[in-house]
């Protein structure tokens, strides 16, 4: 299914819709709601017909100015959540607030401030990139036709496609098409960008281009909420991450917090496994585990330099002695019980 880049054309605007809120010249006037995180959900739940719970009572909070990675294996509920955030499907229970306003009740005033990329807009391949942008903007009743061309030029510039503006889209690489899709979302100034798997299907070059663009947009102050099943993506571009597993939100925090929680483990490679384990336990190492060739454990705050001497004194033959910090991947697998695609 193709989804319009914003909430889509709407019927008659409600009386409370701010008719000036969508012009490029200025953002809506600051209000009391500006202190609220740009995305807040409470108990957000989606149960599809047939009884399957795709999203199970999640409480998300996306801080202003963050690049928020919404991470989870395939089928964990990311797209369903994004669809509810944007008012594309109705929640079974719970609430969504975007930019301080309730969704979907306030969608006509909120969505013009939100750029979204969900499954990508369908482009006419025989039209130029610029012509496609103009077409999408013309379908957006909140967009000002007088500034359309200038805004298209700016959006193409933002995504680095100025030189390709006059090329037919069928000659675009996948990375260029994806950047054009993001340009659609940037035709108006946005406070929040919601991207669903923006690098899906891209080659390494296209992936780099899109990640770079995300960083640049974030540097300009736009809050970015991006789903992905790629851990590398989160590590490279995100300031915050939330982890979904089977419809549940199992963790959300800053990347710095997540990293700081990864406690190093002492790994001893030796043929004398039993004696090594006994010695380490005697020294206070906890959570000991054994493989065919190694013993490893949590050394806590104990001084590492004592361990090697103690092991040698206990006649443990040392083939290796290292302190290893678990990767984020291991941490996330521990959270979800599932593997992640760590490909670039
Ligand atoms: N319209 C629907 N009707 C019934 N079940 C659905 C529907 N849409 C999604 N689901 C189911 O809900 C669960 C969550 O799907 P969702 O697409 O939100 O996951 P995801 O994390 O985005 O995965 P992916 O990365 O594969 O898109 C899956 O089990 C999926 O099969």
pLDDT band at 99 (very low <50, low <70, confident <90, very high): very high
User: Looking at residues 304-316, what average pLDDT do you find?
Assistant: 90
Confidence band of 6 (pLDDT split at 50, 70, 90): very low
In order of 2, 69, 124, 163, 325, the CA distances from 187 in angstroms are 18, 23, 18, 17, 44
CA 177 – ligand 1 centroid, Å:
25
Tell which residue, 258, 251, 273, has the closest CA to residue 318: 273
Query: For the chain, what is the mean pLDDT?
Result: 83
Please choose from 75, 91, 234, 340 the residue to mutate so as to test ligand 1's pocket, defined by most ligand atoms within 8 A of CB: 75
From the CA atom positions of the chain, what is the Rg in Å? 25
Query: Which stretch of 66-70, 158-162, 266-270 has the lowest confidence by average pLDDT?
Result: 158-162
What DSSP string describes 71-108? E--TTSSHHHHHHHHTTSS--SEEEEEETTEEETTTHH
Angle between helices 273-283 and 305-313 (to 10 degrees): 130
Residue pLDDT, tens place only, 34-61: 678 999 999 999 999 888 899 999 999 9
Average pLDDT on 261-285 reads 91
> Pocket residues for ligand 1 (CB within 6 Å)?
48, 52, 54, 72, 74-80, 229
Intervals of CATH 3.40.50.300 along the chain: 32-253
Ligand 1 mutation target, pool 45, 79, 83, 195, most atoms within 8 A of CB: 79
Q: Which SS3 state, helix, strand or coil, does residue 315 take?
A: coil
- Provide the 10 A C-beta neighbour count for residue 61: 17
Q: Which residues lie below 8 Å from residue 323, measured CB to CB, with a gap of 6+?
A: 264, 265, 266, 267, 299, 304
pLDDT at residue 9 greater than cutoff 90: no
Rounded to an integer, the average pLDDT of 217-223 is 89
CA 17 to CA 7: how far, in whole Å? 14
Residue-wise pLDDT tens digits, 235-252: 888 999 999 989 999 889
How many angstroms does the Cα of residue 246 sit away from the middle of ligand 1? 10
In the reported structure, the alpha carbon of residue 122 is separated from the centroid of ligand 1 by a whole-number distance in angstroms of: 21
**Whether residue 72 has pLDDT greater than 60:** yes
What does the angle CA 17 – CA 19 – CA 21 come to, to the nearest 5 degrees? 90
As a whole number of angstroms, the distance between CA 331 and CA 327 comes to: 7
263-325: CATH topology: Alpha-Beta Plaits (3.30.70)
Q: For residue 44, what pLDDT is reported?
A: 97
What number does the ligand 1 atom closest to the CA of 52 have?
A: 5
d(Cα 331, Cα 319) in Å, to the nearest integer? 27
Distance between terminal CA atoms of the chain?
A: 27
Q: How far is CA 81 from CA 5, 42, 56, 125, in A?
A: 16, 12, 10, 30
Lowest-confidence segment of 3-7, 35-39, 201-205 by average pLDDT: 3-7
334: helix, strand or coil: helix
Q: Is pLDDT of 340 > 70? A: no
Q: 275-288 pLDDT, tens per residue?
A: 999 999 999 999 89
Fold classified for 32-253: Rossmann fold (3.40.50)
Confidence of residue 226 (pLDDT cuts 50, 70, 90): very high
User: Which of 28-32, 256-260, 282-286 ranks highest by mean pLDDT?
Assistant: 282-286
Tell how strand 61-62 and strand 93-98 pair up: unpaired
The arithmetic mean of pLDDT across residues 127-134, rounded, is 94
Instruction: Tell me which residue of 60, 64, 68 sits closest to 258, measured CA to CA.
Output: 68
**Residue nearest to ligand 1 atom 29, measured at CA:** 75
Minimum mean pLDDT range among 109-123, 161-175, 311-325: 109-123
């Amino acid at each position: 299914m193709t989804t319009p880049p914003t909430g889509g054309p709407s019927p008659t605007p409600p009386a409370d819709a701010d008719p000036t809120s969508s012009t490029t010249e200025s953002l809506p006037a600051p209000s009391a709601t500006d202190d609220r995180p740009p995305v807040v959900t409470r108990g957000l739940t989606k149960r599809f017909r047939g009884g399957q719970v795709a999203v199970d009572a999640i409480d998300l909070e996306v801080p202003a100015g963050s690049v928020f990675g919404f991470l989870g294996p395939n089928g964990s509920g990311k797209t369903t959540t994004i669809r509810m955030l944007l008012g594309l499907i109705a929640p079974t229970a719970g609430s969504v607030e975007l930019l301080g306003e309730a969704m979907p009740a306030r969608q006509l005033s909120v969505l013009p401030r939100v750029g979204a990329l969900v499954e990508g807009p369908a482009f006419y391949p025989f039209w130029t990139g610029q012509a496609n942008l103009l077409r999408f903007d013309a379908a957006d009743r909140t967009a000002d036709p007088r500034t359309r061309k200038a805004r298209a030029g700016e959006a193409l510039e933002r995504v680095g496609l100025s030189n390709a503006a006059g090329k037919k889209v069928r000659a675009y690489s996948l990375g260029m098409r994806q950047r054009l899709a993001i340009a659609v979302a940037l035709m108006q100034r946005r406070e929040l960008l919601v991207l669903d798997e923006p690098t899906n299907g891209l080659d390494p070059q296209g992936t780099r281009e899109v990640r770079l663009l995300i960083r640049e947009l974030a540097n300009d102050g736009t809050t970015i909420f991006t789903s992905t099943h790629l851990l590398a993506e989160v590590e490279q571009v995100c300031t915050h991450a939330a982890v979904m597993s089977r419809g549940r939100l199992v963790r959300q925090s800053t990347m710095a917090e997540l990293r700081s929680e990864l406690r190093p483990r002492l790994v001893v490679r030796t043929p004398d496994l039993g004696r090594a384990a006994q010695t380490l336990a005697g020294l206070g190492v906890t959570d000991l585990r054994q493989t065919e060739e190694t013993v490893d454990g949590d050394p806590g705050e104990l001084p590492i330099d004592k361990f090697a001497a103690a092991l040698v004194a206990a006649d443990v033959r040392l083939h290796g002695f290292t302190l290893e910090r678990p990767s984020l991947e291991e941490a996330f697998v521990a959270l979800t019980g599932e593997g992640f695609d760590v490909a670039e």
